[in-house]
């Protein structure tokens, strides 16, 4: 995902651009996880970063976009994900006000988010 300078406007340029002479970004800040180490923890809003022009087209062609994230993504990262409401809104932003206090999976999959976690890995059938 390309770096969003406007989102980070409260930071001084030199906080990230530290390489002498070229002012290139330091290796430690070249990925989002370089600064946002807890970005996959429970309770975070996935859609804040992951609903972008880069991510939506890549997921549009999946046979079953509700299963098998590990076919493309690192299994260790996927294992920490929980398909809760913020996860769903990464793709289904138009539903942000649709029964907002409820978890999407409760109605749409008749299951709690934690019960759907196995569907995110290739080790389990997509059902």
51 and 8 assigned to the same domain: no
Pair 1, 32 in one domain: yes
In this prediction the pTM is 0.56
Q: Are residues 102 and 51 in the same domain?
A: yes
The answer to whether residues 24 and 60 belong to one domain is no
User: Are 61 and 86 part of one and the same domain?
Assistant: yes
63 with 119, same domain?
yes
Same domain for 85 and 46: yes
| Total tally of structural domains belonging to the chain | 2
pLDDT > 90 in the chain, percent: 7
Tens digits of residue pLDDT in 61-104? 777 777 778 877 888 777 777 888 888 887 888 888 899 889 99
pLDDT mean over 106-124: 83
Mean pLDDT over each residue of the chain, to the nearest integer? 78
Distances (CA, A) of 88 to 16, 24, 30, 107, 110: 31, 35, 27, 13, 15
Domain extent for 80: 41-127
Q: Which of 107, 76, 114, 75 is nearest to 92 (CA)?
A: 107
């Amino acid at each position: 995902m390309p770096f969003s300078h406007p989102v980070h406007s409260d930071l001084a340029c030199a906080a990230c651009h530290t390489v002498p002479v070229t002012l290139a970004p330091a290796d430690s800040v070249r990925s989002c996880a370089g600064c946002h180490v807890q970005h996959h923890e429970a309770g975070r809003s996935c859609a804040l970063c992951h609903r972008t022009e880069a991510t939506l087209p890549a997921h549009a062609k999946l046979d079953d976009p509700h299963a098998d994230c590990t076919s493309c993504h690192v299994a260790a990262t996927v294992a920490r994900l929980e398909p809760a409401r913020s996860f769903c809104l990464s793709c289904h932003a138009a539903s942000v006000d649709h029964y907002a206090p409820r978890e999407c999976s409760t109605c749409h999959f008749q299951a709690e988010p934690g019960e759907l976690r196995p569907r995110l890995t290739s080790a389990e059938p997509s059902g």
